[in-house]
Amino acid sequence: MKYDYLVIGAGISGISSALLLARFGFKVALLEQAPRPAPLIEGFVRNNVYFDAGFHYAGGLEEGGVLDLNLRLLGVADDLEKVPFDALAYDTIVQSQSGLSFSFPQGYEALGNTLRGRFPSHRQALSEYFERLKLVTQGLPYYNYHPPGESVSMGLASLHGQSLSEVLDELAISGELRTLLQVHCLLHGSLPSEIPFAIHAGVVDGYYGSAQTFKGGGRALAAALVTALKRCGVDLFCRHRVEEIEVTAAGAIAAIRCTNGIRMQASACLATLHPQALLKLLPASVFRPVYRRRLAALAESPGAEMVFLSSPQARKFLGRNFFFLPEKGKSSFDFELPLSERLLYLNFSGLGGLGGSGGSASDWDCGVTAILPAPYYESGKTVVSSANYADEKRRTGELVRERIALLLPELGPGLEVERVATSKTLERINASARGSLYGVKHMVGQFNPSAKTRLAGLYLAGQATAAPGLLGAITSALMAVGAIVGHDRVEALRGDML
């Protein structure tokens, strides 16, 4: 069978792209190298404990919020039950040595009042900060709804103005308040001095408004998306790793060929791969040398050590996240620090797992996910034997377990390591030579690839083209499909969801 579009990669951006293309009447096939679609957000169960490995919480899920609107557009909103995080403390920031402890409450009004009460000398600066956040999100592609015909740029070049650091400098925000407003850079993997303020705003605005997850966690979201694919008539092919995108002598998409010998014909292709992986699938002559060098040189977000733990007492912290910062005088973004000192993020993912698909509330216990951003890793530079690698992971797990036991003694005895992932794990999963947590980063002065390429019929989506996270992945699909059918048509479809 010949398809109108072959979508490579069944992650969030690939599934979203396939669903949107099908909505516009195209015959679509979706190819994924893993055994199941959406492998990064599906989560896993270990010893009756549920862990959300790649999906921890989301912003913009409130009624009418940007993510709520997008999920309705994808046809999955009715299949998901939202579960709010702690209303008064969904994110808690702790720096033990300095005595800093601050919990983010849900909602802009509550957050603004809490921060102004804590930092009265910065009342005006905080008001301006929040105003800038709201103003800049008005111009983000597919963030707020704009009626067809309304002039809104769908490109990202305009986002490369001020960095987050430059905005905080202008507002004379320093000290503990600056620390608090910068800490969510962990959610996109770029330093405050690197991240365009507009992209940072698009990430934190949703969280400031609300922080929620789904009953069943990332596994429920993955299941809802697969159901939507079936409803839309998208043909899903797992265990199909693409090894070549065939191009005709005239410079048009002809077909894709997989490592299992399957060849599929199509008029066009939408790829959601890491840019470096994409280059390996195409003849060198397709892109100009300067463009190939640009894609190959894109800076990566940092790697990470991830430790998944269980504890009988973990339910005490359901619906909460903790950011444990390095001691005063050491940067929160110094990822070369030892594990005992480096920034540590804790997520109690059991809230999403309760009552989830494949188990009931009594079947699954609460999992604890610990993430420590790691130094850059480069595949092949250090060869480690399987035995040594396993020992290294065990040491990492034990060090992190001991640190958590000290920082949150309420977890009590019984805190056990269930699984450990490293940058080497992320290299395999994300197809990134540096094992990065979010793949290609977004930074001032770096122009990431746009949805449309110079090869007729080849379009790009994925976090590298728009922004990181669930919202960024969906936005990238909207931008790619908008480049194909026209942005006005996509906005009209979004308007139907209001």
Given this model, what pLDDT does residue 359 score? 44
107-127: pLDDT as tens digits: 999 999 999 999 999 999 999
Dihedral-angle region of residue 52 (phi above 0 means left; psi in -120 to 50 means alpha; beta otherwise): beta
- pLDDT (tens digit per residue) in 156-211: 555 668 999 999 999 999 999 999 999 999 989 999 999 999 999 999 999 999 99
pLDDT tens profile 433-462: 678 888 899 999 998 999 999 999 999 999
pTM of whole model > 0.85?
yes
* Cα 176 from chain centroid (whole Å): 26
Q: What is the mean pLDDT of residues 321-338?
A: 93
C-alpha dist (Å) from residue 317 to 356, 401, 406:
18, 16, 16
Summary mean pLDDT of the chain: 90
| Mean pLDDT, residues 328-345 | 93
Residue 161: what pLDDT?
83
Domains, the chain: 2-46+217-298+443-495 (3.50.50.60)
Kindly tell me if the per-residue pLDDT of 274 is higher than 70: yes
pLDDT greater than 70 at residue 12: yes
pLDDT tens digit sequence for 214-223: 988 898 999 9
- pLDDT for the residue 21: 98
Contact present, 88 and 76 (Cβ < 8 Å): no
User: Quick one: pLDDT band at residue 19, thresholds 50, 70, 90?
Assistant: very high
Report percent pLDDT > 70 for the chain.
92
Q: Which of 116-130, 135-149, 381-395, 400-414 has the lowest mean pLDDT?
A: 381-395
pLDDT band at 40 (very low <50, low <70, confident <90, very high): confident
Q: Does pLDDT of 14 surpass 70?
A: yes
Residue that wins the pLDDT comparison between 323 and 145: 323
- Which sign, positive or negative, has the C-alpha torsion 116, 122, 124, 127? negative
- pLDDT of 306 higher than 50: yes
Identify which has the larger pLDDT, 328 or 25.
25
Instruction: Give the model confidence (pLDDT) of 346-383 as tens digits.
Output: 998 665 555 444 444 445 677 899 999 998 766 555 55
